[in-house]
Amino acid sequence: MNSTLEIVFGLLGGLAVFIYGMNMMSECLQKAAGEKMKSILALLTRNPILGVIAGALTTAVLQSSSATTVMAIGFVSAGLMSLPQAISIILGANIGTTMTAQIIAFKLSDYIYIIIFLGFILGFVAKSEKVKNIGQTIFAFGLLFLGIETMGSVMKPLASSPIFTSMIERVADIPVLGVAVGTLMTLVVQSSSATIAVLQNFAAQPGADGVSSMLGLAGAIPILLGDNIGTTITALLASIGQPKDAKRTAVAHCLFNISGCLLFIWFVKPYAALIKYLSPKGPEIEVISRQIANAHTIFNITMTLIWIPLIWLMVKMVMKIIPDGKAVVLDTSQPLYLDSKLVAQPTAALQLVAKEIVHCMDLVKTMLSDITTAAQNEDKRLVEDVIKKAEDTRSLYERITEYLSELFASGGLTEDQANQTAGIMYILSDVDRMGALCKDIGNALQDKQEKKYKYSKDAMRDLEKSLELIRTMYADTMSAMITGDVENAKNITKRKEKIMDLDINMRKAHVERVGKGKCQAKLTAPFNKIIHSIDRMGNCCINIVDAVQGDADLKYFVDLDLDTPEQITDNNAGKAKKIKA
């Protein structure tokens, strides 16, 4: 094979193995982290300092600043995080991503195959899911270094190529050209960690004297700055079609890296001298990989320290670049929180699912309240609104179920997450059934209004009492579902008996009224249909609390930080009412 093709294919193959190993390590690390990942994400909405720490830790687990940034954009889009909080996450993500370069700088070429072998054996033999994930993480770690070693071996002949050497000299002498090269590389590969790994490997190749680097640290730093700019394209793509604040988060990521490039590009040589002073000493080709990693880390730490007290200014800048638009009404049949881009990060995705389920349950709660009011006031418009909300609930149920199916199909769920998610899907079906039963009652009330049926005062009083009882029962069921309060769940089970007794008494009383001529016989079927729907709603509530008693509740996925169902209603209503265009 032509030597040029060998170099190209070797470089591409090594890069492919590296990226595959990095992605596999990210997935296995997430599974191995398990509950700890939730603790890390719990820091996201605290204060800027904790946000930076959480962003760095999350990126260290996900092995990608782009993935963390996409997650922040998803949380902002869902209304779970403010713009300043998201910016602090991005600052931390830029620090966290430097860990990959630091790991790569270790000379592990002699131990690659033993690492791969040990990881494979551990992952293959282990029975425990956690140990298996740790084994697969080690295996992926070995693949990552195998990719680096492959790229390094095929790059060696380049040192003797006069054409290539001439090109490198131009890049090393013209910093702007280096920035352009780094940006273009990351735009193509879509991973700054991968392009920095290529840069470290390339810089470690000896020049003509066999001791100094082909590129040199001063030539590598501009490319490094370009890599940081190129990685922002992923965030910009993730913000397409998202609300204004999500777009602003992506722009903030760009501003951070571009401002850093504009600041450091003027001081490349002094900065290179500083890094050499702070880094281990030795032959340049032996230490330059660590120097590049240190340059990357110190650059991001410095820019983070500059921007933390200036987050308010960053917010002002992005607000100026992307100003507020006209307010528009949000379609309540569409999810408020789900983000398909977060399927690869199940711990974060399940937080959004938990919020979306609360939104769906909240719609049902509103319907129950509206049905009670509509029955009392003969309100035709309110009945139509109930029927519309029931259709929206069904649409939301389908979207949530589809999203959860995607999470299962991704293979990223841990065993505990998969078990809890299966329980949540079971509960969700009862919430959907509640919505359908609300629609049935709405249709019955609508039919009553259109045909001008008249129930007696006693019948209406019994009906209103029954509706009020199921409304409060559902509100308590919703609270138990959110908080995981088992004792409250037990009390709800006892209340079902009251609904059954009321159901029987209402049917008897209606028959008596028909016999006395107080109610029309033709009203028996629609009246019984409403009573039957209420009774079935009680069964749905019991199904949900039974699941809560079996440890299936939203508390597993995320601390919603909401004390009462009323607060949840207020939050969801505020978000569902209007968003910025």
Q: Which domain holds residue 531?
A: 340-580
The answer to whether residue 330 sits within a structural domain is no
Quick one: 409 exposed, middle or buried, by C-beta within 10 A (0-12, 13-18, 19+)? exposed
Lowest mean pLDDT of 135-139, 158-162, 444-448, name the range: 158-162
Closest C-alpha to 217, from 278, 155, 265, 272: 272
Is 284 within a domain? Answer: yes
**Residues 257 and 388 both lie in one domain:** no
Residues 99 and 30: their CA atoms lie apart, in Å, by 16
- CATH number of the domain that 407 lies in? 1.20.58.220
Neighbours of 143 (CB within 10 A): 23
Specify whether 368 is located in the same domain as 280: no
- Asked whether residue 239 falls in the same domain as residue 139, the answer is yes
**Range with top average pLDDT, 225-234, 304-313, 479-488:** 304-313
Structure tokens at 212: 């100094």
373 shares its domain with 290: no
Query: Which residues pair with residue 578 across a beta bridge?
Result: 329
User: Amino acid identity of 152?
Assistant: G
> Could you count the other beta carbons within 10 Å of the beta carbon of residue 468?
15
Flag whether 479 is in a domain: yes
150 touches 14 (CB < 8 A): yes
- Residue 360 and residue 467 in one domain: yes
Q: What percentage of residues in the chain have a pLDDT greater than 90?
A: 7
Q: Tell me if residue 361 falls in helix, strand or coil.
A: helix
Residue 459 forms part of a structural domain: yes
User: Helices marked H in 451-523 — which ranges?
Assistant: 457-483, 486-516
Of residues 498 and 544, more confidently modeled: 544
User: In whole angstroms, what is the distance from residue 436 CA to residue 443 CA?
Assistant: 10
Contact 155, 201 (CB under 8 A): yes
Q: Average pLDDT in the 119-138 region?
A: 86
Q: Which of 265, 292, 321 is the last residue of a domain?
A: 321
Q: Residue 567: what pLDDT?
A: 44
Pull the structure tokens for residue 564. Answer: 């009462």
Q: Does residue 333 lie within any of the structural domains? A: no
Average pLDDT over residues 489-511: 69
Please report whether residue 327 resides in a domain: no
Q: Clarify whether residues 427 and 529 are in a common domain.
A: yes
Reported as a single tens digit per residue, the pLDDT across 373-419 is: 877 777 788 888 888 888 888 999 999 999 988 888 877 787 778 88
Residue bearing tokens 């079935």: 536
* Residue 280 burial (10 A CB sphere; 0-12, 13-18, 19+): exposed
Q: Which tokens in the block code for residue 381? A: 């418009």
- In whole angstroms, what is the distance from residue 574 CA to residue 565 CA? 14
Is 480 within a domain?
Answer: yes
Backbone φ and ψ of 327, nearest 5°:
-75, 140
Say if residue 47's pLDDT is above 80. Answer: no
Q: Are residues 405 and 317 in the same domain?
A: no
Residues 344 and 297 in one domain: no
The Cα–Cα gap between 560 and 553 comes to 12
What Å distances lie between residue 351 and 1, 74, 316, 361, 554, CA to CA? Answer: 52, 11, 29, 16, 9
In the predicted model, is pLDDT for residue 353 greater than 90? no
User: What residue type is assigned to position 228 of the chain?
Assistant: N
Are both 301 and 414 inside the same structural domain? no
Do 317 and 344 fall within a single domain?
no
CB 139 within 8 A of CB 158: no
Which one is predicted more confidently, 71 or 39?
A: 71
Same domain, residue pair 268 and 353: no
φ/ψ (deg, to 5) at 213:
-75, 145
Q: Which of 262, 287, 321 is the last residue of a domain?
A: 321
* Total number of domains constituting the chain: 2
Domain co-membership, 352 together with 316: no
The predicted model gives 244-257 an average pLDDT of 86
* Boundary-marking domain end, from 260, 292, 321: 321
Q: Is the pTM of this model over 0.85?
A: no
Whether 331 is covered by a domain: the verdict is no
Condensed to tens digits (0 to 9), the pLDDT of residues 520-551 reads 666 677 777 888 888 888 888 888 888 877 77
pLDDT band at 576 (very low <50, low <70, confident <90, very high): very low
d(CA 204, CA 396): 54
Q: 526 with 510: CB under 8 angstroms?
A: no
Partners of residue 327 on adjacent β-strands: 580
| Neighbour tally for 536: CB within 10 Å | 16
Q: How far apart are CA 102 and CA 249, in angstroms?
A: 27
pLDDT tens readout for residues 551-575:
777 776 655 443 334 444 454 555 5
- Nearest CA to 46 out of 3, 101, 13, 88 is that of 88
Closest CA to 197 of 18, 30, 447: 18
* Confidence bin at 214 (pLDDT 50/70/90): confident
HSE at residue 447, side-chain half, CA atoms within 13 A, is 13
Distance, C-alpha 469 to centroid of its chain: 37
Which band of pLDDT confidence, cut at 50, 70 and 90, is reported for residue 580?
Answer: very low
